[in-house]
Structure 1
Amino acid sequence: MKSKWKITATSAAIFFGGSFRTSLGDPWFQNLARPNWLTFEFLIPFIWIFIWVCVTISAILVWEKSSRENKPWLLMILYAVLGILTAIYSPVVVALKSLMGGLVVGAMATLLVYILAILVRPILPKASLLLIPYMLWGPIGTYLTWVLIKLNPQSLQ
């Protein structure tokens, strides 16, 4: 199997593995108070799909750009960790009913995507550019989780 299909399959497995427990249908999460400016919540799943595709393509490009003898295993591990952190956000929030856990996971993933962008830029600037959607959305999602905590202090009990 070609490398790009292996990376795509791994990415899809992580994505769908984390999707087993989303906030979309969870009554506890749906009943949380939301900020008035959150008028685009219905777009969030589509935003994440787009980000996920960009990150997957970035990983494929980095892998394929590297020489046969010098494959970037550490970078692939970082891509996988980023995927896992992203995928476990909803299960942490929903299954554990922990907005604080979601805040920590979201902040860690956001920090990691910036580090990954810096590390892959010398290999292939285009791969780094594909991480920009995550670098833009990560802080928004993390901030939104923090706002949810502030609007729902009962959720910290």
Structure 2
Amino acid sequence: MIVTIIIAAVATICVLGAGGALTEIGPWYHSLRSPPWRPPNWAFGPVWSTIGVLTCIAAVLIWRASPTPWDKTVTLGLFAINAVFNILWSLFFFKLKRPDWALIEVAFLWLSVLALILDFYPRSPLAAALLVPYLIWVSIASVLNRAMVRLNGPFMGRADRGLVKGQS
């Protein structure tokens, strides 16, 4: 069991670390217009840390509740897909400065979290429930992402340094 916990913790730290490394809060981000209801910047770290802990616990619970190698393979595959979408969102929004691309991608991130919940529920309702805050947060992020695209678009490519059109 300790090996399962360590693997889940390391995987969670790697995914959150990769997303964090791609998150550049600088002049470009600060130049974006945001809706008045946007959470303060300081809230994102604690929220993602909480989601990481809950996801790690859910991973351990579902691994223990998976009776067959096939169940474990499906679970690993769903987690891998979710990890890719989680990291891609940060890449598109922050690194490539393309909130419009991130808005398209976040739908896949949301669906990947939902797929995890639906897959987990028959084997471990608790593991599924632990992922509900993740789904809620991605839902909020989706609406925020959409609002930021509407307030700031259209966006241009990296050749234009990712600045919002019309700004210097």
| Same fold, judged at TM 0.5 (above) | yes
Structure 2 unmatched runs, 5+: 157-164
8 Å contact from structure 1 (residues 107, 139) kept in 2? no
Q: Secondary structure, in 3 states, of the residue corresponding to 2:21?
A: coil
1:77 is matched with: 77
RMSD over aligned Cα atoms? 1.9
Equivalent runs, 1:48-59 vs 2, <5 Å: 48-59=48-59
Query: Percent same amino acid among aligned pairs?
Result: 24
Equivalent runs, 1:2-151 vs 2, <5 Å: 2-23=3-24, 25-67=25-67, 71-151=71-151
Structure 2 letter corresponding to 1:43: A
2:159 is matched with: none
Q: CA deviation at 1:70?
A: 5.4
Structure 2 letter corresponding to 1:38: R
Structure 1 unmatched runs, 5+: none
Following superposition, which runs of at least 4 residues in structure 1 exceed 6 angstroms of deviation?
none
CA distances 1:93-132 after superposition (whole Å, capped 9, x unpaired): 1221100121122221111111211111001100000011
Task: Specify the structure having the higher radius of gyration (Cα).
Answer: 2
Q: CA deviation at 1:149?
A: 0.4
Q: CA deviation at 1:86?
A: 1.4
Closer, same or farther: CA 69–95 of 1 in aligned 2, 3 Å: closer
8 Å contact from structure 1 (residues 57, 127) kept in 2? yes
CA distances 1:33-92 after superposition (whole Å, capped 9, x unpaired): 011222534312211121122112111110022236555111122112212311232222
- The number of equivalent residue pairs is 156
Q: Secondary structure, in 3 states, of the residue corresponding to 1:34?
A: coil
8 Å contact from structure 1 (residues 33, 148) kept in 2? yes
Q: Distance in 2 between matches of 1:79 and 1:2?
A: 17
8 Å contact from structure 1 (residues 107, 138) kept in 2? no
Structure 2 letter corresponding to 1:49: S
8 Å contact from structure 1 (residues 86, 105) kept in 2? no
